[in-house]
Amino acid sequence: MKTPDSPQPSPSAWTSEDAAALYGVREWSGGYFDVSSAGEVELCPKGIEEASRLSLPRIVDGLRKRGISMPVLLRFPELLDRQIHDLNRGFGEAIEEYGYEGKYRGVYPIKVNQQEQVVDEVCTYGARYGHGLEAGSKAELIAALAYLKNPGDLLICNGYKDERFIELGLYARRIGIDCVFVIETPIEVKLIIETAKRLGIRPKVGVRVRLSSCGSGHWKDSGGDRSVFGLNAGQLMDCVDQFREEGYLDCLQLLHYHLGSQIPDIRDVRTALTEACRVYVGLIHEGAPMGTLDIGGGLAIDYEGSQSKSGGSRNYTIEEYCRDVVETVKGQMDLCDVKHPTIVSESGRATVAYYSVLLVDVLDVNRFEPELDESEVPENSHYLIRNSLAVGHSLCEENLQECYNDAFFYRDEIRQHFQAGAMGLRERSLGEKIFWDNLAKIWKLCSQIEEPPEELLGLESFLADIYYGNFSLFQSLPDAWAIDQVFPVVPIERLNEEPMRRAILSDITCDCDGKVDRFVESGRIRRTLAVHDLREGEKYLLGVFLVGAYQETLGDLHNLLGDTHVVSVRMGEDGDFEVDREIEGDAIADVLSYVEYDPKQVSARFRASVERAVRSGDIDVDERRSIVKTFEETLRGYTYFEE
């Protein structure tokens, strides 16, 4: 066990390689990030085997020179390109390997990251593979229609669809977009048929089924029997009958299911797919032409780098996923002598997770280190103070747990005496110092022995420093708060120096939930992060990785901290980086207007107050000018901590 207090190895013993292992960089980075021998995190846009690399500290330096301050969300379009490529190549190779007679078509579900840049780039990079889009609402449909580029592009429409939605989707077919309505609830069938009749356009329709096999992990409820979307077997047959009666059975060409996001165990993928194949074959037997099997999302990302079926990981690679899918579908179809369908997958998370990195500067540290000088403890102190001090003196390996219990006992006794008026503030303060000193001694001993008592392991986070990062958890990492998702956090420089402190990361909202206290370390989850001491006058920057999926638009305006700056960076010809796009983060006036303030009104109200102070003679007009200027500049400024 390594702790801040474990014996310090000579500085030369620690290398960047140790840091890469400690933070698990090569395990979670998908080959896109590495640690250089100079101790810097590097982007490897062409993969870890290749020499082309971009140092993140160097990017930060370049951004600072351009006047862009932290926090910044970096986007790397090259990684998006690569992920789309890998997914298509994975399926392409599997299709070849198994002699599969159908094709693969990917679609990107817009909801995973709806930002214009993302949708634009997905359509650009995806064009050569015919990679399409998935829309779950009218707004997403509109975005998809505007950005799909080629005739025949696939557009899968999920979610509740009103008449307008359906009209627009039908018109999309007229202009050559392969738009498919996926029926989520039985109510939709009638509306689709009526609208199609009215416009005289034949729709292409899919059905979403609820499978009885459901995945594990956070989202397991969105797949199986409890899923709010999708048809059960009875409803499915009712739909088929309706289509047949109306003469629209030939329009039923796709079967869709979505097990939920981040399915960590490949066995769940296979089990669900097998069931879906059985349903597909059943629909063929019902006389529907079919032709496409849409397996939804769920392809997981190994945030923990543990390659396991733990919720934040996955026990398979993209290649294995593709092979298992193709093999299963082929096996099931061959068994029933059914033509191999086109396989569609809706992988969102796996497409965009690597794409973005949040850069956060550490503003300050709070340490719980006791500064106890025993000579300060007067001879005639309260007996509770003396007893508490004795706890630390009697400490040895055999009485660790006892001393731990006693330390808390005396702390509580001292607090109670203080509250009852039997002890002064100075004495209580001394008591607290002794308490922290006791805990630090206990933890130090724990870290030196083989098997410390279980209960005492919690001391690590109890004693950890708090590093204050310039960001809002609620805005930039909502899933870390909402579903305890773990994201890799790594200092982006000084990795050739051993990180000797342990910390949790707090944001700058005043919410006590605004903290990160679960981290990836050597393939497991730890409550604290290994960090370096801050140096006077030097920045300390943390990168939060794999934040491209779901984080950007789920975020909210807690404490009115707004969107961060976004900078999109790619490798230039000369090996240096190029700023590809820059999107300024929210100003305070922007976030105020989101919550219905009118910035002009806000300003006018404040000016009126200042004018009152002038009239009453409290300030003169010069001071008025400074006050108003400060107010106006702040109103136009960044919502985050500024230097």
Ligand X SMILES: *Cc1c(COP(=O)(O)O)cnc(C)c1O
Chain residues in the site for ligand X (CB under 6 A): 109, 111-112, 134, 158, 258, 261-262, 296-299, 346-350
Q: How far is the CB of 392 from ligand X (least distance, A)?
A: 52
Give the nearer residue to ligand X in terms of CB position, either 28 or 577.
Answer: 28
Q: Are 311 and 262 in contact (CB under 8 A)?
A: yes
Q: How far is the CB of 175 from ligand X (least distance, A)?
A: 24
Give the nearer residue to ligand X in terms of CB position, either 297 or 514.
Answer: 297
Q: How far is the CB of 294 from ligand X (least distance, A)?
A: 8
Q: How far is the CB of 136 from ligand X (least distance, A)?
A: 6
Q: How far is the CB of 118 from ligand X (least distance, A)?
A: 13
Q: How far is the CB of 90 from ligand X (least distance, A)?
A: 14
Give residue 186's identity as a one-letter amino acid code.
P
Give the nearer residue to ligand X in terms of CB position, either 223 or 452.
Answer: 223
Q: Are 45 and 81 in contact (CB under 8 A)?
A: no
Give the nearer residue to ligand X in terms of CB position, either 79 or 350.
Answer: 350
Q: How far is the CB of 130 from ligand X (least distance, A)?
A: 18
Give the nearer residue to ligand X in terms of CB position, either 256 or 411.
Answer: 256
Peptide bond into 71 cis (omega under 30): yes
CA-wise closest residue to 212 among 282, 279, 299: 279
Residue with tokens 């190779």: 93
**Tokens standing for residue 369:** 């280190």
Residue 364's H or E segment, with its range, is: strand 356-366
Q: How far is the CB of 350 from ligand X (least distance, A)?
A: 6
485: Cβ contacts below 8 Å, ≥ 6 apart:
218, 303, 312, 477, 479
Give the nearer residue to ligand X in terms of CB position, either 111 or 501.
Answer: 111
CA-wise closest residue to 7 among 529, 528, 500, 398: 500
Q: How far is the CB of 305 from ligand X (least distance, A)?
A: 19
Q: List 582's β-bridge partners, or say none.
A: 567
Give the nearer residue to ligand X in terms of CB position, either 19 or 350.
Answer: 350
CA atoms 621, 622, 625, 627: torsion sign = negative
Give the nearer residue to ligand X in terms of CB position, either 111 or 309.
Answer: 111
Give the nearer residue to ligand X in terms of CB position, either 85 or 197.
Answer: 85
CA-wise closest residue to 360 among 121, 529, 142, 559: 529
| Long-range Cβ contacts of 122-127 (<8 Å, 24+ apart) | 122/80, 122/84, 122/351, 123/147, 123/148, 123/149, 124/149, 125/77, 125/80, 125/81, 125/84, 125/85, 126/84
**Tokens standing for residue 112:** 């995973």
511: Cβ contacts below 8 Å, ≥ 6 apart:
474, 558, 559
Give the nearer residue to ligand X in terms of CB position, either 272 or 350.
Answer: 350
Give the nearer residue to ligand X in terms of CB position, either 309 or 515.
Answer: 309
Q: How far is the CB of 112 from ligand X (least distance, A)?
A: 5
Cα distances from 626 to residues 172, 621, 631, in angstroms, run 57, 9, 9
* Secondary structure class of 560 (helix, strand, coil): helix
DSSP 8-state secondary structure symbol assigned to residue 129: G
**Tokens standing for residue 467:** 């590093």
Q: How far is the CB of 32 from ligand X (least distance, A)?
A: 18
Residue nearest ligand X (C-beta atom): 297
Give the nearer residue to ligand X in terms of CB position, either 182 or 495.
Answer: 182
Give the nearer residue to ligand X in terms of CB position, either 299 or 434.
Answer: 299
CA atoms 517, 526, 488, 367: torsion sign = positive
Give the nearer residue to ligand X in terms of CB position, either 276 or 385.
Answer: 276
Q: Are 290 and 255 in contact (CB under 8 A)?
A: yes
Q: How far is the CB of 304 from ligand X (least distance, A)?
A: 16
Half-sphere exposure of 350 (CA within 13 A, CB side): 31
Q: List 101's β-bridge partners, or say none.
A: none
**Tokens standing for residue 349:** 């998370």
Give the nearer residue to ligand X in terms of CB position, either 175 or 187.
Answer: 187
Q: How far is the CB of 582 from ligand X (least distance, A)?
A: 27
Greatest distance between any 2 Cα atoms in the chain? 97
Give the nearer residue to ligand X in terms of CB position, either 3 or 262.
Answer: 262
Q: Are 156 and 134 in contact (CB under 8 A)?
A: yes
Q: How far is the CB of 133 from ligand X (least distance, A)?
A: 11
263: Cβ contacts below 8 Å, ≥ 6 apart:
215, 216, 217, 269, 298, 299, 300, 314
CA-wise closest residue to 205 among 175, 171, 179: 179
Burial class (CB in 10 A: 0-12, 13-18, 19+), 319: middle
Q: How far is the CB of 53 from ligand X (least distance, A)?
A: 28
CA-wise closest residue to 188 among 230, 227, 133: 230
Q: How far is the CB of 150 from ligand X (least distance, A)?
A: 22
